[in-house]
Structures are given as structure tokens and as C-alpha cells.
Amino acid sequence: MLPKLKNLLFFLVFLISAVFSSSSYHPLDPLTPSELNQTQTLINNYFSSPPQNVSFHYVGLDEPEKSHVLSWQSSSRNQQIPSRRAFAIVRVNSRSREIIVNLLNNSIISDKFYNGYGYPLLNYAEQLAAGNLTLSYPPFIASIRRRNLNLKEVVCLSFTVGWYGEIKSSRVVKVMCYYLNGTVNFYMRPIEGIATTVDLDRMKIVAFRDRVVTPVPKAEGTNYRFNSSVQGLVKQVGPGFTLDGHVVRWANWELHVSFDMRAGLMISLASIYDQEKGKYRSVMYRGFISELFVPYMDLTEEWYYRTFFDVGEYGFGLSTVTLEPLKDCPENATFMDGYITSQDGTSALMPNIICIFESYAGDIMWRHTEFGIPGQEIQEVRPEVSLVVRMVAAVGNYDYIVDWEFKESGSIKVKVGLTGLLLVRGTIYTNKDQIREEVYGPILAENTIGANHDHFINFNLDLDVDGVANSFIKNKLQTVRVLGNTSPRRSYWRVNSQTAKTESDARIQLGSGTTELLVVNPNKKTRVGNFVGYRLVPGVIAGPLLSDDDYPQIRGKFTKYNMWVTPYNKAEKWVAGLYTDQSHGDDGLPIWSLRNRNIENKDIVLWYTLGFHHVPCQEDFPIMPTLSGSFELRPTNFFEHNPVLKPSQYATDSANLSESGQ
């Protein structure tokens, strides 16, 4: 068949298919396989006379103008879809070309050279070729033999080289190699000291260096694979945990769940089973919300005093509500009741105020796909199944959803969701353009101002990491300048660890992004010498914007720092003081901490404040969609290796049920 006739038929087939399937398209859909093939054919034909060496490095949708997409959307998708175009970056005779293809009329509408610095994406074929070139390079083979390694177990990968001030450069990669021999996780087994430089356009080794012989890390303990027959979709079957009174046992966790009429939900004695050590290891003795400070920014006479302490003034537990099955909690949830003391001293039942359920939301616990082993493609995935303990407190207008989520990896994620109703103020204004004075918040609807305000939720976290005696470490990431000519690089960063000796050393204002917060057991180390520990990973970060001498801030001074650490004291439980209503700020964490007690290798308590600055918007009116913030307590050298290499029993049982058709 003549090339022109072939291309014409190809175009007609594509055009017919496009017409019949246009209704299923979205203007921002990625290119379909047929569109990608069409682009390739057009470009190859374009450079076929005279024949040229074409290397594709990117082909993707050339997105329509935003106005066109929005117009299409606003027309209830009745308009014709904007023109479909492909954007391609190719290398032709060692030069980069940018090509735009009109897929509807089967034509190239733009072709231009790129003459600036830099090169396009590496494609897989040239990376593979560079690795194979290295594996067949005699000096490299000699280096492998000198290390007494089996060449058949060596895997080589290409790495981009960056830029270090040179005016002109070649399109090269560095090839680094790794060793299999007992594991598919070759990244844990680098062959150090050997570097090969490959020019990709010429596909030629232009430099080779064997600098030093370093032992290859062992394969033992690096494998992450398990029986592939248990892989697949995890079904939520049954509760997945056992409840013995208030003790919950799930997967590798054991914890105690209770209710307090001031604090609400309390988690105690959380420990995790270490399969390698064959025992449960303590993580947290107690965790609960100690205070919730909500100062509003409206200074009018009826508003200036609205600076609430929801735990100490109203009782978070007293504000707890009955949870609705299938709405507040999924169908596999188990509920717990609570009790409070009434005004006359009699007890009152608060039914179904805590729910516990196993959660699988389609998240991934860990995964890896490996293409680096010649002739193999390896993929291993673990679904994220977790245990959630939930309560909801409706403190006046706001509903607070509190989740303690326990993960098989050893992490504890704590999340607070804010929903319910805003506090709004009536106003004479019906439109923002009318406002010529300070109104302390945005207009949300006619005659309605939403007051700016804060939410500061303080958590009392008595961590007992593998024992009671712990220390608090601040890991600061510091930029280091490279001196002399020791490296083409000019800087790098390293970790500077500082152990807090006293309470004043442990006060942290977050926001710089340069600090890691760890609790370690200085009396216990891993086999390779690291202190076992947990780190606190902040989520939403907010600090007070009120002046230190403002009265609400004096009472809520605990918000001045995101993190405080104190030695454990049974009496020191409520961060804003035991008697919070109309308090003067003369009791609570800032006062206790003035003693500047020793906290190194002690039974210590973390006080972490999760904060929100809330500028209301119209979507918060009339009821606010949930706004969430969280933090995570994450094991850091607590285990000898990843504790969830094997699928959990729950995942295994679910997969077996799926295979059996149940």
C-alpha cells in the first residue's frame, strides 16, 4: 500500500472513531493509545525524508485554553469539545524539537528547535542502553571481578548529573550499579566507588572511574516480597478487632479506650507487637485533648470576650454526641457508651459516643515497582488498613470530629475535623463594596459577617517509647558550605541532633521546616546503634497572632509554642489550668514549665498544639464542610526494619475470602 494512501485511511479511521466517541471525552483527558500512535506516525513521517534519527522524549496532551474548557463546562458539556492536540518533545540529530500535532485534521501545526540550556526527559530505552553498555565495558567487568562479585547479579541504572556552572555540556548520565544476589531490593545493595559516564546522544562511555572498594551491604533483611497469592483488594469483613471491655486488640496493636467528661476520648496504654522481638512494646501511656482554645477577633462590645476554652470551660466530654451508624461511622463500626455526672450527682448515660472501626479507604501502605532487573518486572503493594477510634463533640456551634488512627506500620495519626456552624455577626451591609470600616471578618451573605478566629487544640501525649525513661531530641537540618575543591557541589545539608536537657530547651515554634521532633529511649538501641524512638510529624502549623500581653493570650499562653515537654506529673493534666473559667493564666503549662526541670532520660510528656487560623468564606455558610488537620506519631528506628513486610492477617483473610468467592 502506498504511504499516502495508508496515511489517508489511518486518518479516516481515526476521524470516524473520534466522531462516534466524542461524547465520552473530556477536554483534559490524557491522550488515548490511538492518539499517541497517531502522533508517532505523523512525526516519523515528517522526518522520513530525508531519513533522520528521531528520539521521542515526551508526548502528551496540548491542553486547550482555559477559557475554552470553562466554556465547555458551563454549557453542561453540550458544546463541541475543544480541539484535541498533542505536544511532543523529540531529539532529532542530537537537537531538541518541540512539535504540536492537530489530532483532528492529522497535521503538524508547529515545529521549533529548542536552543536553550538543558535537555528533555530521559527515555527508558536510552537509560537501559547506558546500563547495558556499562555491563559490557571491560574495565567495569574487571572492577566487579576485583570485588569478587557475580556480574550476572549486577544491575546498573542511569542518573542525571545536574549542573555545576559549566557553560556548555554534553547530554550525559552517570551509571551507578547495584547487587542482587539474594534480594530484589537492590537499592539496599549499592556497589560503591564505581562511576561510568555515558554520552546518550552518541551512546558511548566517555569516562570511567573506580575510586575505592567498599563492602556491599548484605542482602539479609532487605527483601520486601511475600506470597503474591494474598495480594488483591482488601474487603471490610467484620469488625476486624476484638473488644474486651475497654481494651482493643487489632493487628499488632493493643490499647485502652475510655471516656472523660472533660477530655472526652482518651487513649491509654497503646503498645505494638514486635514480631521480631516476640513481645508488645510500649508507645504511649496516655493521649487526649487537654484544651481547645478558640479566640475570636471581633472587638465589638458583644464579641470581644468570645475567647473560648472548650475543654476547661464547657467540657469536651460533656459536649460529646451520640454517633449515627452509617453516617458518623461505617457499617463495620462497634460503638461504646459513656457516662457523665448530672447536676444532682446522678449519672447519665451518653449512648454510642465512641465508635471503633477498621478502615480501608484505598490508601497504599507501601509499594514498589521495579524495572531495573533485566527481563523482569516486579511489583509489590500493601494496602493501608488502619484502626480508627472516633468521637464527636458539639461545643456550641462547632462540631469537632476527633480520630485516633492506628496503623500497622506503627504510626498513630491523630486528626481533628472542624465542622458545624460559624459564629456570625449581623451587619447593615449587604455587599463587600459597601464596607468602609473594620468589621473583623468577611461578609458571607447579606447582613452576615463571619468573624475571624482561631482554633488551638492541645494534646497531652505521654509517650513511653519502649519504656518510661525517654529523651526529647531536636533534629535541625543545617545547610553546610563545601570548602575547597573537594566536590563540584557547593553545599549540602546535614542533621544536627540536640538532646533537650531542660524544659526550656524543648519549647518549639514550628514553621521553618528545618526541625524534626523525636522522643527516644536513650537506654535502648537498635542492632546498628540507633536509639529507638518515635517522631512527631506536624501537619497544620499555626501559632498565636495575639500580642503576649493580650488577656486571652495570657490565659492561652500555651499556644506560644507548638511543642512543650515536661517531666511527668500526675497533677499536671490540663494545659490551661484545672480551673479555666475566668482564670488569670496563673496555672497551667506555662507556669509549670518555669521550673525548667530536667527532662533528659526521664518520664516525659509532650504537649503539642494543632492550630488553625480560620478566615471564614462563603462555602462555610450556612454550615461548614469539614476542615481537617492532623499530626502523626511515627516510629523512627523503633523497629529493626519495616515491620509490615508481610501482609497483615486481615489482608490475608480478606484475600482468601475474595479468592473463594465469599
Sign of CA dihedral 273, 278, 280, 281: negative
Eight-class DSSP state of 364: E
Which amino acid type is present at position 296? Y
Specify the residue for cell string 566536590.
487
Class of residue 49 by CB neighbours under 10 A (exposed 0-12, middle 13-18, buried 19+): exposed
Q: Is the CB of residue 571 less than 8 Å from the CB of residue 415?
A: no
376 burial via Cβ count (<10 Å: 0-12, 13-18, 19+): exposed
* Sheet strand arrangement including 531-537: 334-341, 347-359, 386-395, 398-407, 412-420, 624-636, 531-537, 515-525, 471-481, 491-499
Residue 241 grid cell: 478487632
User: Which phi-psi region, left, alpha or beta, contains residue 475 (left: φ > 0; alpha: ψ -120 to 50)?
Assistant: beta
Which SS3 state, helix, strand or coil, does residue 409 take?
A: coil
Write phi, then psi, for 20 (nearest 5 degrees). Answer: -75, -20
DSSP string, 86-137: EEEEEEETTEEEEEEEETTTTEEEEEEE--SS---PPPHHHHHHHHHHHHT-
Q: How many Å is the maximal CA-CA distance in the chain? A: 97
Q: Which residues are known to be catalytic? A: 310, 398
Which amino acid is it at 161? V
Task: Answer whether 634's CB lies under 8 Å from 537's CB.
Answer: yes
Element (H, E) at 33: helix 33-46
* Grid cell digits, residue 392: 464527636
Q: What's the CA gap between 264 and 355, in Å, rounded?
A: 13
Nearest Cα neighbor of 153 from 134, 139, 135 is 135
HEC states along 316-362? CCCCECCCCECCCECCCCEEEEEEEECCCCCEEEEEEEEEEEEECCC
Cβ proximity of 115 and 107 under 8 Å: no
E-assigned strands of 162-202? Answer: 172-179, 194-199
Q: Dihedral of CA 360/532/574/299: which sign?
A: negative
Using only the alpha carbons of the chain, give its radius of gyration. 31
- The residues, ordered by sequence, that sit 6+ positions from 557 with a Cβ below 8 Å of its Cβ are 548, 585, 588, 589, 590
Q: How many residues does the chain have?
A: 662
324, 315, 595, 503: CA torsion to nearest 10: 20
- What does the CA dihedral 500, 505, 509, 513 come to, rounded to 10 degrees? -40
Q: Strand, coil or helix: what is 365?
A: strand
Cβ(449)–Cβ(425) below 8 Å:
yes
Spatial contact of 441 and 452, defined as CB atoms under 8 Å apart = yes
Answer for the pair 185, 173: CB distance below 8 angstroms, yes or no: no
